[in-house]
C-alpha cells in the first residue's frame, strides 16, 4: 500500500467535488480523506495499491460535471494505518 497527498486547484469548490471524490474513492477501494481549503483548493490523501491510486488521480482531473481542474500537485506521504474507508473532512 502507498499513499499520496494531493492539492487540486481550479473550479473545485461549490461544484460537489468533495462528495464526488468520496464516492469515486469508495468505488475504487481507495482509503483516505478529502477537504476544502480556505484558499479555494481541495486537499486529499489517497491510500491504496499503486494501480488504484493512479486511476483515482486520473479521475480527479475530470471530477464532477461542473468542476474545471487547473492543476493537481501530488507528493508521496506515509501510510496512515488508522484510516478506514474514505471520508470528507471539514474545511481547513
Please, what are the domains in the chain?
2-73 (3.30.70.100)
Q: Supply the pLDDT for residue 86.
A: 97
Task: Exactly one of 18, 26, 35, 89 is catalytic; name it.
Answer: 18
36 catalytic? Reply is yes
Q: What's the pLDDT tens digit per position in 24-39?
A: 999 999 999 999 999 9
**43 in Cβ contact with 74 (< 8 Å):** no
How many other C-beta atoms are found inside a 10 Å radius of the C-beta of residue 9?
15
26 catalytic? Reply is no
pTM of the model: 0.94
Alpha carbon separation from 75 to 27, 57, 64, 67 (Å, rounded):
23, 12, 23, 22
Q: Supply the pLDDT for residue 49.
A: 96
Task: Exactly one of 36, 52, 84, 89 is catalytic; name it.
Answer: 36
Alpha carbon separation from 41 to 27, 52, 92 (Å, rounded):
23, 23, 10
Q: What's the pLDDT tens digit per position in 24-81?
A: 999 999 999 999 999 999 999 999 999 999 999 999 999 999 999 999 999 999 999 9
Q: Supply the pLDDT for residue 26.
A: 97
Amino acid at each position: 500500500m502507498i499513499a499520496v497527498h494531493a492539492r487540486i486547484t481550479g473550479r473545485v469548490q461549490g461544484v460537489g467535488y468533495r462528495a464526488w471524490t468520496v464516492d469515486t474513492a469508495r468505488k475504487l477501494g481507495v482509503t483516505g480523506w478529502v477537504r476544502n481549503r480556505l484558499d479555494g483548493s481541495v486537499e486529499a490523501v489517497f491510500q491504496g495499491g499503486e494501480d488504484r491510486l493512479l486511476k483515482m488521480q486520473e479521475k480527479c482531473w475530470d471530477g464532477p460535471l461542473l468542476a474545471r481542474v487547473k492543476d493537481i500537485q501530488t507528493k508521496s506521504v506515509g501510510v496512515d494505518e488508522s484510516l478506514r474507508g474514505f471520508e470528507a473532512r471539514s474545511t481547513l
